Amino acid sequence: MDARSRYDAVVVGAGHNGLVAAAYLAGAGRSVLVLERLERVGGAAVSRQVFPGVDVRLSAYSYLVSLLPDRIVADLDLEITLADRAVASYTAVPGGPGLLVERDEGPATEASFRALTGSDAEFAGWRRFYGRVAALAEDLAPTLTEPLLSPGALAGRLRDPGLWHDLRERPLADVVADELASDVVRGVSLTDGLIGTFADVHDPGSAAGRCLLYHVVGNGTGRWRVPVGGMGAVSGAMAAAARAAGAELLTRATVTRLDPRRDGVTVHWTDDDGAEHAADAAHVVCGAAPAVVDRLLGRPPADGTEGAQLKVNMVLARLPRLRSGVDPAVAFAGTFHVDESAAQLDAAYAQAAAGRLPDVIPFEVYCHSLSDPSVLGPAERAAGHQTLTLFGLHTPAALFRADPVGTRREAVRRVVDQLDAHLAEPLLDCLARDADGEPCLQAASPLDVEASLAMPGGHIFHGDLAWPVAGTVEEEGTWGVATDHPRVVAASSGGTVRGGAVSGLGGYAAARHLLERC
Ligand SMILES: Cc1cc2nc3c(=O)[nH]c(=O)nc-3n(C[C@H](O)[C@H](O)[C@H](O)COP(=O)(O)OP(=O)(O)OC[C@H]3O[C@@H](n4cnc5c(N)ncnc54)[C@H](O)[C@@H]3O)c2cc1C
């Protein structure tokens, strides 16, 4: 007789989506086991002390939250605080004051557009474009927590189906250029289509439109908020909700094989000592990336998934002063764009697509601790330390393969030089030092992300984002979580139609799918 444990659901991977699925399922009375290969839960949504002797808990990978629906927070009673930033973005412009966009665009934003472009026309175009974006976001956001709508039904829910159509059918560069003329201002908008997405904004079929949509739709406002306590506080609250509901969470448990049958699935895993374990499940919920799941099912993974970002984590002894004279506490409080004009994005894309590290890497930086000093230890807070996160674009994994360490070093050298061009004092002089006297700067290429998080190719969404609508007639009315096997459902960012980023939507959809069936 088989003495194996049997669960209603075994969740593979305790990324935040796996945790959300576990919390919903256990909360509905299902027996749930969550298996996570790492020693901690959270996947790419974690906080940790990165530098020895420096008590600062950095959001080592993801850092801002927009797509997590308030509904999931309320359903699971998640104890998290998401703080608004007063500044949405600041764009450094050589020789000028730069472009400031406040969260609530007021006279300072208007004056900044005027100073940059010499007229009020650009700000008017910006208001028109983002007015349309806001209406689209308000109309689309509620559909994300419903079963998938057909394209026709979705379009019928929108006040501005024209923008939805344009994003899907036209090159993102053209859609943005309809309203915006300035190279700098266009770039601010286009970066939303390129975060974590290597795409040609002039190609109507590229993933840039989808990526922009996910960056503007969260909770109907598209506001990117600061998780107080860092990203680890978000996944920590999800793990707490799952445990409180009765789910069992096992870390250092690497799933090695899934054997699906008609009536269930046997899940095999190993622990840190190499001991082998197995459990039976009525259903398996896959919180790991689709390529991982393919491997576990003995199928060749679909190839080609590749991330394109450079992530740099830093702790500063003080914020650097800016050449523009703008207060660094204003500039770094929002998303600080560097070398992200439309022309610079095009040039970097062309070089990277041709297999070269871009001469000028477009990137953005952001200081978490200005909005939320709670991530700083007492001594670091008293000393005035600050955090800094840098996210570089158009640096695909392939560029790092021949010489991972040397290419990463060169990429860091370039972005530091590029940032220094806007600073009144070198960044290096402002970095805090760790216990070994080393500057507090840690960089990760997509290859590093793949190695540490099992995200295929280091792609931050596990693969290109999908339009949040049924892609086929069969998909209409479903939750977009099906795999080839009815006993195995997807929950992850890349495995589900609408699961991208820190949203919990993949886990939510997987749980709704299962709870409606059993
Ligand atoms: C550098 C970076 C910056 C980002 N910035 C943001 C941001 O600011 N805002 C935002 O919204 N999104 C951001 N993202 C994207 C976002 O973090 C991810 O899309 C999201 O966290 C994915 O969550 P997930 O739960 O679907 O998958 P993951 O977080 O990938 O979790 C999958 C889990 O499965 C585990 N696993 C894998 N294989 C196995 C196995 N065989 N057995 C057991 N466990 C296994 C992994 O260890 C992992 O814990 C960023 C991502 C990165 C990498």
| Ligand 1 pocket check for 453: Cβ under 6 Å | yes
Q: Could you give the CA distance from residue 218 to residue 317 in angstroms, rounded to a whole number?
A: 33
The reply to whether ligand 1 has any atom less than 6 angstroms from the CB of 10 is no
Q: Are 376 and 332 in contact (CB under 8 A)?
A: no
* 457 C-beta closer than 6 A to ligand 1: no
- In which order are the strands placed within the sheet that holds 87-91? 99-102, 87-91, 335-338, 363-366, 386-392, 310-316, 441-444
Q: At what angle do helices 107-117 and 183-191 cross, to 10 degrees?
A: 130
Longest CA pairwise span in the chain (Å):
80
Does residue 458 line the site of ligand 1, with CB under 6 A?
Answer: no
From ligand 1's centre to the CA of 118, what distance in Å? Answer: 43
Cα(483) to ligand 1 centroid in Å equals 19
Q: What share of the chain is helix, strand, coil (3-state, %, to 5)?
A: 35, 20, 45
Pocket test for ligand 1, best of 11, 37, 277 (most atoms within 8 A of CB): 37
497 close to 148: Cβ distance less than 8 angstroms: yes
- Can you give the pLDDT at residue 3? 64
Q: Which amino acid would we find at residue 153? A: A
255 Cβ closer than 6 Å to some ligand 1 atom: yes
Q: What is the pLDDT, as a whole number, of residue 304? A: 75
Ligand 1, atom 15, lies closest to the CA of 501
To test ligand 1's pocket by mutation, which of 17, 38, 59, 61 has the most ligand atoms within 8 angstroms of CB? Answer: 61
Q: What's the 20 CA to ligand 1 centre distance in angstroms?
A: 13
Measure the CA dihedral 399/400/401/405, to 10°.
160
Residue 482 and residue 468 in contact, taking contact as beta carbons nearer than 8 Å: no
pLDDT of residue 4: 80
The dihedrals phi and psi of 194, each to the nearest 5 degrees, come to -125, -5
Q: Is the CB of 44 under 6 A from ligand 1?
A: yes
Whether 63 lines ligand 1, by a CB cut-off of 6 Å, is yes
User: Which amino acid does the sequence have at 48?
Assistant: R
Q: What's the confidence (pLDDT) of residue 131?
A: 97
CA of residue 230 to ligand 1 center, whole Å? 15
**For ligand 1, atom 14, which residue shows the shortest CA distance?**
62
Strand 248-250 relative to strand 32-35: parallel, antiparallel, unpaired? parallel
**Which of the listed residues 460, 461, 497 should we mutate to test ligand 1's pocket, taking the one with most ligand atoms within 8 A of CB?**
460
* Residue 254 beta carbon below 6 angstroms from any ligand 1 atom: yes
Looking at residue 1, its pLDDT comes to 36
pTM, rounded to two decimals = 0.97
Question: Distance, CA 44 to ligand 1 centroid (Å)?
Answer: 4
Q: Smallest Cα–Cα separation from 482: which of 494, 495, 473, 469?
A: 495
Say how many Å lie between the CA of residue 322 and the centre of ligand 1.
Answer: 34
Q: Which numbered atom of ligand 1 lies nearest the CA of 67?
A: 11
Q: What is the pLDDT of residue 2?
A: 45
In angstroms, rounded to a whole number, what is the distance separating the alpha carbons of residues 389 and 406? 21
- Name beta bridge partners: 391: 311, 364
Q: Which of 502, 503, 505, 508 to mutate to test the pocket of ligand 1 (most atoms within 8 A of CB)?
A: 502
Question: Are the CB atoms for 43 and 493 separated by under 8 Å?
Answer: no
Q: What is the model's pLDDT at position 301?
A: 77
Q: What is the pLDDT along the chain (518 residues), one digit of tens a residue?
A: 346 899 999 999 999 999 999 999 999 999 999 999 999 999 999 999 999 999 999 999 999 999 999 999 999 999 999 999 989 999 999 989 999 999 999 999 999 999 999 999 999 999 999 999 999 999 999 999 999 999 999 999 999 999 999 999 999 999 999 999 999 999 999 999 999 999 999 999 899 999 999 999 999 999 999 999 999 999 999 999 999 999 999 999 999 999 999 999 999 999 999 999 999 999 999 999 999 999 999 998 777 789 999 999 999 999 999 999 999 999 999 999 999 999 999 999 999 999 999 999 999 999 999 999 999 999 999 999 999 999 999 999 999 999 999 999 999 999 999 999 999 999 999 999 999 999 999 999 999 999 999 999 999 999 999 999 999 999 999 999 999 999 999 999 999 999 999 999 999 999 999 999 87
